Structure 1
Amino acid sequence: MENCKLSLELVVDILARLRVKSLMRFKCVCKFFYDLITSDRHFQHKHYGISKAKTDCVLLEVGYDTREYYLLYKGSEIECIYLDIPIIPSAQWVKCCQGMLCLISTRKDMINLGPSDDLIYDILIWNPSTRKIKAIGPITVPYKLSYPAYAINEFGFGICNNMTWKVVMRLEIHSLYGDGRDIADYITMVYSQVRGDSWSLSQTNSPLSFYTFQWEHCLEGISEDFYLKGRYYWGYKSPSNDPYLLWFDMDEEVFGTIELPSNVIIASFTIMNETIALLGYSTVGDSNFIEIWLMIENDNNTYWHKQAIIDCVVNVDNNERWRALGIWNVDYDLLVFLDTTLHWDPFFDEMEVPYFISIDLVTQERKMFFISKERKSITVASDQVDGYVQVYNERNNIDITEEWKLNCFMREGIYARVYGESLHSL
């Protein structure tokens, strides 16, 4: 840096605008670059802010019994990156925040818990862009069962204003007596990064019960959830069937709720212009539409505004329909899955490659594309017994047959989150 003719501020600003892949090479240039890229939290936060403002990307989650994950980048051509999520132990829950993935697994079958069983969760934090992964578990729930039971889990993953990471764990435990007694215990824990590799576990107050928001296109047992501006959100229905968002503030560690439009058939949630957007369906006569509703906050009041409506070209004879998934982050194009059963046979567990549509919300221009496992793959593995070991590779044109399991893209099993590359690490 001694011979550099540019000011330090300008150098930092230039570096903050580069792709992560380039920065991974530049950190070897000098000690200043290395410390800035790998350790400076403020630089990492600045880089992410610039990255998300110019990158069109979603994290796509598909599958029913087995979940698969892809990064879809929108450009002149759609780039597809297939993520091999750790399978030892199996990552049963994957949460996303600022380019980091939180991978959560349990060591015990949660539908058949005995009085002597411990509730233990393993947690991995993985940045697919930098290839860094770290284990922050295992976590043993400070609770002992006194009866046979099953547990329902909900998780959240986010970052505080002081750039401290947190994992929210919500458990609802029900009795398996089967004689009308449905004992329920509610436990909410917050696993917080104290400093560096140190983490602390605490319990906090939680809403008494949660009824997962089971709208038509949501995977059973998995609610729509996402992180935005220091809060983690889950979609639910109240006992009276009214839809709402439950949020958890990462700084204050308190819960709150937001009512949703009651007259909308909800498809999913997404983020549009740093605002929560709701994607829904409506029908007028023989025409089908996708509606986009934006959440407006004004003087501590929250209401929903219908921002756009898109005509769905649906071929009923071919059992075809569109499924709204989310918004590409920059140009506000709508990502839609072309749902059809025309090309599959119920006696065979495979289908043709899945097709998607990207719709420009201004011009209404529509671009159809398909994703393929043959583009690129990032693999990471871990070993629960001997400790976590990072094993990754990046391969182009990997030899995976173009056959897709039917349950990977069935109606209930597909979900998209806005995603941005980041340098963040723990």
Structure 2
Amino acid sequence: MSSRDYRKAKADCVVLETGWLVREYYLLYKEPSEYNEIGCIYFDIPTTPKAQWVKCCQGLLCLISIRNNIIKLDRDDYLIYDIWIYNPSIRKIKALPSVTVTYRPPSDAFVVNQFGFGISSDMTWKVVMLLEFCSIDDGSTTHQMTLVYSQVGGDSWSLRQINSVTPRRDLESESNDFYLKGRYYWRVDRFCVEPYNRFLIWFDMNDEVFGRIRLPDMNISSVSIMNETIAVVGYSSWRDFSCIEIWLMIENDNSTYWHKQASINTDNESWIPIGIWNVVGELLVSLEEKVEWDSDNSDRDHAKRGVPYFMSLDLVTQERKKFSISKKRKSISSIRNCDIYARVYDESLHFL
């Protein structure tokens, strides 16, 4: 991607993540023209090895990988994370000192982890690491810990373990997570958790404590940001997919409640809401073109497959713009024979 492409994107831009096993990233933005066409540029993130987690805060990307891509941790192994900070506006990347977790489980274990990236009110950048060690023998939790990796000035970073802990397995494996106003949020959607089986867990970058917010009782597809507050996007029930609803979180006098902001008719098409991606309030959805079956061929493996697309819907004007993604082109192109998973990193990237 050229610097010219970056300049085109300007400030109203988000990172789009696609793919299940192999992740790819794109910059999604409005073309600077009177028609406000959507541009979608392939985003080649420069890390070696390839980043396993990408987090975003105020225009910076935090890229995280487990050393040697460890899935199972032996008793004699140390868990090591490699971390980079990438500024796409100037195309500069900086490797941070690697993080070595000194805890070693009493027996062979799996490690489940989740991360957050943000900045405190005193302008200290922090990476929060939620770790849970699970016994390979029976899957039981043997140890939970929260680590805070924070900048202490210049190129120096410190690693601390804090007492505040939340179970990593409470969080979605591919959760909606984002930074907003000094807190990092992860979505929880667990039917077995009572009384709040749908909620957000947050970590305060200043006080370094966890909290939770109950989510609306609906079929939630995504949680993102709209008008500087949290927006929940989904369907009104588990059975009715004809209407997408958007609810905004309202905070008043230390209380929190939800207000239904919009309802959108899907025209009985298969829309999968991804999130609010544009600062003026546009909903991003994925959809698949209807499949045309070959009546002369009973083998469905040889039938025509649908083509997945994305669509941006202006919540005010109801204008719809359909597009697809490609490494070679900035906008319209088809994608075949692949599974689409996508989410929007809701912090707008800062461009020069």
Which band: TM-score by shorter chain?
0.7 to 0.9
Choose the corresponding residue for 2:184, options 217, 232, 251. 232
Distance, in Å, in 1 between the alignment partners of 2:68 and 2:51 is: 13
Which of 81, 93, 104 aligns to 1:121? It is 81
Residues 282 and 289 in structure 1, CA contact (< 8 A), matched pair in contact too:
yes
Q: 2:122 aligns with which of 138, 159, 162?
A: 162
Query: 1:188-242 CA distances to partner (integer Å, 9 max, x unpaired)?
Result: 100000001011110112334233455xxxxxx2211000011100011454261
Counterpart of 1:77 in structure 2: which amino acid?
A: E
Is 1:58 the counterpart of 2:7 in the alignment?
Answer: no
Residue identity opposite 2:152 in structure 1: V
Output the aligned Cα RMSD: 3.0
- Residues 65 and 170 (structure 1 numbering): CA distance in 2 closer, same or farther, change over 3 Å? same
Instruction: Give the alignment of 1:201-350 within 5 angstroms.
Output: 201-214=159-172, 221-237=173-189, 239-240=192-193, 242-261=197-216, 263-282=217-236, 288-315=242-269, 321-340=270-289, 342=291, 347=301
For residue 69 of structure 1, the aligned residue among 25, 40, 47 is 25
Q: Which runs of 5+ in 1 are unaligned?
A: 1-20, 26-51, 215-220, 316-320, 377-396
Does residue 418 of structure 1 match 2:350? no
Distance 2:182 2:242 in 1: 36
Larger deviation: 251-260 or 200-209?
200-209
CA contact (8 A) 1:110 1:150 kept: no
The equivalences for 1:172-183 within 5 A come to 172-178=132-138, 182-183=140-141
Residue 97 of structure 2 corresponds to which residue in structure 1? 137
Identify the residue that residue 338 of structure 2 maps to in structure 1. Answer: 406
Paired with 1:419 and 1:309, the residues of 2 have a C-alpha distance of: 24
Change (3 A) 1:137 1:71: same
| 1:211 match: secondary structure | helix
Structure showing greater radius of gyration is 1
Structure 1: distance between partners of 2:241 and 2:207: 46
| Counterparts in 2 of 1:172 and 1:326: CA distance versus 1, 3 Å | same
Name the structure with the higher helix share: 1
Match of 1:80 in 2: 40
Looking at structure 2, the residues matched to 284 and 150 of structure 1 have their Cα atoms a distance apart, in angstroms, of: 33
* Closer/same/farther in 2, CA of residues 108 and 177 from structure 1, 3 Å limit: farther
Residue 273 to residue 338, structure 1, CA distance change in 2 (3 Å): same
What's the TM-score once normalised by structure 2's chain length? 0.86
Distance 1:208 1:371 in 2: 37
State the Cα distance separating 1:295 from its structure 2 match.
0.5
Whole-Å separation in 2 of the counterparts to 1:237 and 1:417? 19
CA distance in 1, matches of 2:240, 2:248: 26
Change (3 A) 1:403 1:298: closer
User: Could you tell me how far apart the structure 2 residues matched to 1:297 and 1:77 are?
Assistant: 35
Distance across 2 between alignment mates of 1:351 and 1:86 = 33
Change (3 A) 1:151 1:286: closer
SS at match of 2:65: strand
- Give the superposition deviation at 1:283: 5.6
The aligned amino acid for 1:301 is S
- The residue aligned with 2:309 is 355
Q: 1:351 to 1:252 in 2, by over 3 A?
A: farther
Task: Name which of structure 1's ranges 232-241 and 246-255 shifts more when overlaid on structure 2.
Answer: 232-241
Alpha-carbon distance change, 182 to 200 in structure 1, aligned in 2, over 3 angstroms: same
% identical equivalent positions: 53
The structure whose residues are more often strand, as a share, is: 2
TM-score by length of 1: 0.71
Deviations 1:62-92 (A, max 9, x none): 1111111101002422111111224521211
Any stretches of 5+ residues in structure 2 without a counterpart? 294-298
Go from structure 1 to structure 2 and tell me whether the alpha carbon gap of 1:62 and 1:212 turns closer, same or farther (over 3 Å shift).
farther
Determine which structure has greater relative contact order: mean sequence separation of CA pairs < 8 Å that are 6+ residues apart, divided by chain length.
Answer: 1
Indicate the residue corresponding to 1:91 in structure 2: 51
C-alpha displacement of 1:103 = 0.6
The one-letter code matched in structure 1 to 2:254 is N
